[in-house]
Amino acid sequence: MGYVDYAAEGHVGIITINRPKALNALNEDVLRDIETAFDAVDCSEIRAVIVTGAGEKSFVAGADIAAMSTMTKEQGEHFGKFGNDIFRKIETFPVPVIAAVNGFALGGGNELAMCCDIRICSENAVFGQPEAGLGITPGFGGTQRLARLIGPGKAKEMVYGARNIKADEAYRVGLVNAVYPQEELMAAAMKLAQTIAKNAPIAVRNCKKAINEGLEVEMDRAIEIEEKLFGDCFETQDQKDGMTAFLEKRKVEAFHNR
């Protein structure tokens, strides 16, 4: 992977987009490296993943405009599908994914952050979908996820107006869960990831599946999805260990992902 680094610390995987001279902008090579990094995550060991950008200026400043500027209609559609397929893969990745947004998250960068389960950011973070000012629409899910996350009205204001928002407003409208000083961001992301990793991995994965799939269907069907995933947990050793520890008024020493 030329543009993306992957490392594991205990049960936490860290994926870093490493193209700082281009503000970590996305082209097909970077997107392919992101997919390769997620393919490298061993979900039998890794229980949460952090995605961030190299440097202090940018998470991902957007898609590579130079690469897009000469695309035909067919090439544009292909590029959109290429990115969307990878981002959807991240959105449905078995373990939770945390975006640690350390600066600009514009266009494809905001879209990458939005396909993660949880977003936290540094005080210098800037979010936006500037595509309408470039003569295009968001192409990697921006029109869909932004409206679902912050509501159609605010999303339309940002998308139609190609309007960026800073970290404090992103927190106020619910686009991010928390804002930290730049130097504290990765420590906060790691603390959150480790908190998730301490819980029963199969249960956490089932929670993610229940929330994601349930939001896409009507309530009666969503409840059925939850019931099935709830029942599946009772086949696990982690459920037995967790409930035994509770009844014995002690903490679980460790969940074993089985």
| pLDDT tens digits, 95-113 | 999 999 999 999 999 999 9
| pLDDT for 1 | 77
Work out the pLDDT band at 67, boundaries 50, 70, 90. Answer: confident
Q: Could you tell me the pTM of the whole model? A: 0.96
DSSP 3-state assignment of 126?
strand
The predicted-structure confidence for 172-197, as pLDDT tens digits, reads as follows: 999 999 999 999 999 999 999 999 99
Q: For residue 253, give Cα distances in angstroms to 48, 190, 202, 242, 243.
A: 19, 20, 16, 9, 12
| pLDDT for 192 | 98
CB of 159 closer than 8 Å to CB of 138? yes
Determine what percent of the chain is predicted with pLDDT higher than 90: 97
Q: Which residue has the tokens 């603390």?
A: 191
| pLDDT for 91 | 98
The predicted-structure confidence for 220-247, as pLDDT tens digits, reads as follows: 999 999 999 999 999 999 999 999 999 9
Residues noted as catalytic: 111, 131
Residue partners of 208: CB distance under 8 A and separation at least 6: 94, 95, 96, 117
CB of 108 closer than 8 Å to CB of 63? yes
DSSP 3-state assignment of 233?
helix
Q: What is the Cα–Cα distance from 79 to 196, expressed in whole angstroms?
A: 34
Q: What is the Cα–Cα distance from 59 to 16, expressed in whole angstroms?
A: 9
The predicted-structure confidence for 200-226, as pLDDT tens digits, reads as follows: 999 999 999 999 999 999 999 999 999
Partners of 99 in beta bridges: 51, 119
H helices then E strands: how many in the chain? 11, 10
Spell out the domains of the chain, with CATH numbers in brackets: 4-197 (3.90.226.10), 201-247 (1.10.12.10)
